[in-house]
Amino acid sequence: MSKDKQSEVPMTVHEATYNLLRRLGLTTIFGNPGSTEQPFLKNFPKDFQYVLGLQEASAVAMADGFAQGTKKPVLVNLHSGAGTGNGMCNIMTAFQNKTPLIITAGQQTREMILGDPYLTNRDETLLPRPWVKWAYQPVRAQDVPGAIIRAYATAVQPPAGPVYVSIPLDDWDQPALGDAVVRTVSARYSPDPERLTLFAERIKKSKNPVLVYGPEIERAGGWEAGIKFAERLKAPVYISPLTDRASFPQTHPQFRGMVPIAIGPLSKKLKGHDLIIVIGAQVFRYYPFIAGDYLPQGAELLQVTNDPWDAAAAVAGDSLLSDARLALEAFIDAVPAVTSRPAPTGVHVAPKLPSPATNPLTALEAFAALSELRPKDAILVNETASNFADLIQFWPIEKADTYYTFASGGLGWGLPAAVGVGLAEKKTGTGRPVVAVIGDGAFQYSIQSVYTAVQNKLKVVFIVPCNGEYAILKEFAVLEKTPNVPALDLPGLDVISAAKGFGCATVHAKTTQDIKEAFAAALKADGPTLIAIPIARQERPLVPPVD
Ligand SMILES: Cc1ncc(C[n+]2csc(CCOP(=O)(O)OP(=O)(O)O)c2C)c(N)n1
Ligand SMILES: [Mg+2]
């Protein structure tokens, strides 16, 4: 065929879509391939990277970690209904994390779908709902690139989140209408000025306000603005219950910890404040039901969120719809620095440890040893249910973008998300080490992501505190008065052998000395290391009493 003739060959949907993905910067694709995706993945271009997850739960959460680490939307490619089903828990988590993921899934050949062939994604837009912002299957092949640009525009607008496009496998070779029209949309919006003024007036009038900061602050790049506003207001700062990002330095003298995760204890904790200012969070992300007042007597509540759903679902107070950073900056301008009261003080002090160390170590002792070698720039990924409070005592978060956990409570996110964050560090060249502290139960859910960390030689250290049980569920059983629940003990779990099976370096660290040696070596290694630490079983109250 002559050159001229070649140029007359119409562009295919495949070509138009890859051109579009390039222009949108979606050149890293997370997925697990199947027959319905192969026509999309054929002749995979050299300027794209395919990151293989050996199961879709891992592929989705790795993409989530990567998107959060790079602060950009990411493409995930799943295998029809089957792959979507496997990925579902982490799609739900990505939705609640407000992570923009453009999920595409293969679909059977259009011509056959009516007859329900093998691997048909039946009612394809139903399966991912309600945990995607939009689910669509183009009505004709030519609409595939247009559907992807619409999906992109939906995913990145606030509140960001996953979207889903199902694509029949015979669409890719069809002639395209040409290159897709690339559009841009806003990823944040500023507050209504009148309402902002009303809120600022109420803040100015307050005698004893308290700030509750949530994950939207950090996502919006509002870390510095959050500090500045808190310092001007001279108010104590808490982080919102079960927050998935840190949003405020935990060693700051105004920092007071996380508010309790239940109704009664939360209002008890905030007693005495006349105004509760919640920025970038739900009101509130409660967990167990412990009855009580939603707000302490005499207190009012103001909420700033970029999510109309969260504004509507708030159990108390008034809401202002806004990007958290833009609202904080507006408050800094509108509320003069307080001079009538001193700033609250109190510096974070790590708890005292028993001497000599216990055998097996307590989680607190293990984390204390680990923290002695904490690299200044390390990123922490947390999925350690019952030991998180101990972890944060010795690993307070001090900088933006160095702490990640899930917003949903669906286990199996932390391990692959840490791999995704590690990939982001590698890709962007920042190269910060990722330390993922994952319970021995939680470790089992998306275990195959260890393989991706090994294959990509990521600087990720998996720390697994091994208590051989679902400790937090035992704590729950006490709170809920549900004795004799089966299956809360996990005898015979061997996380070392499991990680070895994926080619991961492993260490069994029983003493504080073992931990330090293993961690030092892991930080120098050219790939991931798993450090399994046997820890003592402890039963603590799920919700510590508030005095
Ligand atoms: C997908 C999923 N399945 C089940 C649960 C219920 N669940 C919550 S915590 C937990 C146990 C966690 O155990 P582990 O990771 O060992 O932490 P530990 O409580 O021992 O510190 C389970 C099974 C969940 N949250 N998510
Ligand atoms: Mg456990």
- Bridge partners for 75 per DSSP: 29, 102
Q: 364 CB under 6 A from ligand 1?
A: no
Q: What is the pLDDT of residues 198-254, one digit of tens each?
A: 999 999 999 999 999 999 999 999 999 999 999 999 999 999 999 999 999 999 999
User: Relative to the alpha carbon of 439, which ligand is closest?
Assistant: 1
Our answer on whether the CB atom of 466 is closer than 6 Å to any ligand 1 atom is: no
Name the closest ligand to CA 391.
1
| Helix/strand/coil for 446 | coil
The ligand 1 atom at the shortest distance from the C-alpha of residue 472 is: 19
Contact 370, 187 (CB under 8 A): no
DSSP state string for 144-181: HHHHHHHHHHHHHSSSP--EEEEEEGGGTTSBPSSSPP
What was the pLDDT predicted at 544? Answer: 92
297 Cβ contact partners less than 8 Å away, ≥ 6 residues apart = 271
CA of residue 242 to ligand 1 center, whole Å? 15
Q: What is the pLDDT of residue 349?
A: 81
Q: Which atom of ligand 1 is nearest to the CA of 475?
A: 19
The phi, psi pair for 92, rounded to 5°, reads -60, -45
Q: Report d(CA 333, CA 114) in Å as an integer.
A: 60
CA 467 to chain CA centroid, Å, is: 25
CA 453 – ligand 2 centroid, Å: 22
Distance of CA 160 to the CA centre of its chain: 12
Q: What pLDDT score was predicted for residue 6? A: 54
What's the confidence (pLDDT) of residue 449?
Answer: 98
Q: State how far Cα 214 lies from the chain centre.
A: 13
Tell me, using a 6 A CB cutoff, whether residue 469 lines ligand 1.
yes
Question: What residues of the chain score a pLDDT lower than 70?
Answer: 1-7
Mutate to test the pocket of ligand 1, among 89, 92, 386 (most ligand atoms within 8 A of CB): 386
Q: For residues 209 and 401, what is the distance between their CA atoms, to the nearest angstrom?
A: 27
pLDDT of residue 3: 39
Three-state secondary structure call for residue 335:
coil
Containing 275, the helix (H) or strand (E) segment is strand 275-279
pLDDT of res. 4? 41
Q: Is the beta carbon of 471 within 6 A of some atom in ligand 1?
A: yes
